Structure 1
Amino acid sequence: MKKLLPLLLFFMMIGTLKADDYTIIDTTKVSFYYDYTFVRDTNNITDIDHDDMVLQVGSHCARFSHTSQVELDSATYIYRDYTFEEQYKYIKDILALPSSSKYSSYTLCKGYPKKDEYSIHFYINKKFLRIVEPIFTSWNLEEAKDTTIMGHPCSLATCNYAGRDYRAWYTLDIPISFGPYKFDGLPGLVMRVEDTKKQHVFQLYKIEKRKRKMFYVEYDNQIKVNPEALCGVFRNNIQQRYRQTTGGKKLQFDDPSMNARIANYIISHNNFIERY
């Protein structure tokens, strides 16, 4: 099911984006690739999923998203003036790449539009949702400095954010005050961050120096919400889709076992990284 997401996003974007919706906000100087490991179902903590995420860092700002979203945005921008059929011809190979899960289908811009803010875009329930909030900096720096990641000595920091306690390992060897997701504001790059139950873990595995355009995409009819409201939207979306599968007409299949599998898949997405 994950492979369907970029294709659905592409069809949706064709009808909602105009050429001037893409703003080039910076040029990526270095990209940091993270393996995002997460438990999607709190009732089955042994079922682990993975997503491939990338932090693009430029001169003025940064962007964090799924790797496939970076490729899709770049290609859609290049072929923005082409017809639908021409766009699909050039982008179809990108759409076949491994796609993000529901919990990773966002784009997070750091330091744009304002220097001290995040701007986060989600697409859920056929709506574009946008969150704007201050960059997170509430860390406790610990004494432990005995961890090495990718050859870099790391120091430990801890925090509580959105209902979870976290540990983060950062390195002064890379004096970039960014990290995966919203975990920024430390004296060096965040190499690894995990909640104390290890249900959400970001681990750096590759550093790449490659110049490419960094985009901020403005969607039509986007709705501004706060993080608490977004969690409510996730919960309501799960409940609505579950009801449609088990008792409604929209997602019914002739094979009862298919109904059950779809219903279980929907209800299993109950462990969003933020909890309110």
Structure 2
Amino acid sequence: MKKFSILFLLFSVLISAQNNRMIYEYTFRPDSTKVDSLKTEWMYLDISKNGSKYYSKSTFESDSIVNESIKKQMAAGMKSISVSRNQRGGEVSYEVEKSYPDYKTNLISRVGNDSYKVLEDRKLNWKILPYKMKIGEFNAQNATTDFAGRKWTAWFTTDVPVLDGPYKFSGLPGLIVEISDATGSHKMELKGIKKLKEIKEEELNAQGKDIPFTKKKPIEVNRQQYIKQLKQYENDPVQGMREIMNQPNSKIKVNINGQEFTDPKDVLRALEQNAREEMKKNNNKIELQP
């Protein structure tokens, strides 16, 4: 017991003294009508002394590639910026940020051509149960909660002195190592912990240009305002693109899954068709009630 206490103390010092990355495997079924639509995404939960950030590895890497391509085109003085939609990669485009020690939680979500920062105003009410088991190398305990229209079952460990977890989940006396919803549609499993240096995300300097499909500074809204934006997007998924293309001297070339479009009417038609197909296939979101 004494040996365990010493190891635990040393690990506490390490994890509080530097940044750590919790690596989760996120398995989800985007289309509730298709049992075989199961997908997997590697997610990062980066933890620092001031808070955490949860995001997709693939989307982060794809955004970096797109930004580098745009910077090279702008440096070369190209008047027409080419953005390949299939470079975005990653099925998960949202991010979740939490601040410590108050655990204030914000969703960073892309809707159309805009990005929104949404403060979460719903509290997680956990019911900690006596059930325990070993998950990987961790001693874990069971807890349940209802959130955003789903019933969730979590396993957390006090072996790691972090009171956080993937997505918006936190508030348990330890790190969440596994969490899944009652339907089996969404599941997040901790697969590794990595020490890392601080990562400073570089913002794209678009030199005043509104370039589609690029990561933008999010607009801060409350949850009701965000729901309104979601409904507007569902009704007209190319509204933002239409506004960009109506600007003077605006020329946009879009590549969607290998097919290039330059004529404004073709661009809007292709983007709307693609957006509606994606919405139809993505009917089983992690939040049934945003």
TM-score range with shorter-chain normalisation? 0.5 to 0.7
Matches within 5 A, 1:112-261: 115-133=102-120, 136-146=123-133, 148-213=134-199, 215=201, 222-227=218-223, 230-231=226-227, 233-234=229-230, 237-238=233-234, 240-241=236-237
Q: Is the 8 A contact 1:73 1:215 kept in 2?
A: no
Which runs of 5 or more residues in structure 2 are unaligned?
1-15, 77-84, 205-214, 239-264
Question: Hey, what's the Cα distance between the residues in 2 that align with 1:230 and 1:191?
Answer: 30
Classify the secondary structure of the residue corresponding to 1:143: strand
Change (3 A) 1:156 1:170: same
Question: Hey, what's the Cα distance between the residues in 1 that align with 2:24 and 2:151?
Answer: 20
Amino acid at match of 2:41: D
Q: Shift of the alpha carbon at 1:133?
A: 2.6
Change (3 A) 1:232 1:51: farther
Question: Hey, what's the Cα distance between the residues in 2 that align with 1:214 and 1:75?
Answer: 16
Question: Hey, what's the Cα distance between the residues in 1 that align with 2:287 and 2:20?
Answer: 28
Q: Is the 8 A contact 1:28 1:214 kept in 2?
A: no
Change (3 A) 1:207 1:49: same
Q: Shift of the alpha carbon at 1:150?
A: 1.9
Higher mean displacement: 57-66 or 206-215: 206-215
Question: Hey, what's the Cα distance between the residues in 1 that align with 2:114 and 2:175?
Answer: 33
Matches within 5 A, 1:36-75: 36-71=26-61
Q: Is the 8 A contact 2:62 2:90 kept in 1?
A: no
Q: Which residue of 2 aligns with 1:269?
A: 282
Aligned pairs, number = 230
TM-score, with structure 1 as normaliser: 0.68
- The sequence identity of aligned pairs, in percent, is 23
Question: Hey, what's the Cα distance between the residues in 2 that align with 1:249 and 1:144?
Answer: 57
Higher mean displacement: 233-242 or 169-178: 233-242
Amino acid at match of 1:130: K
Change (3 A) 1:188 1:221: closer
Q: Is the 8 A contact 1:135 1:182 kept in 2?
A: no
Question: Hey, what's the Cα distance between the residues in 2 that align with 1:216 and 1:115?
Answer: 26
Question: Could you report, residue by residue, the CA deviation over 1:143-172 in whole angstroms, capped at 9, with x for unpaired residues?
Answer: 1012x2221111000000011100000011
Q: Which residue of 2 aligns with 1:12?
A: none
Q: Which residue of 2 aligns with 1:20?
A: none
Q: Is the 8 A contact 2:124 2:145 kept in 1?
A: no
Greater C-alpha radius of gyration: 2
Question: Hey, what's the Cα distance between the residues in 2 that align with 1:263 and 1:97?
Answer: 19
Q: Shift of the alpha carbon at 1:53?
A: 0.6
Change (3 A) 1:141 1:241: same
Which runs of 5 or more residues in structure 1 are unaligned?
1-25, 90-94, 243-247, 254-258
Q: Shift of the alpha carbon at 1:29?
A: 1.5
Q: Is the 8 A contact 2:19 2:47 kept in 1?
A: yes
TM-score, with structure 2 as normaliser: 0.65
Q: Is the 8 A contact 2:20 2:196 kept in 1?
A: yes
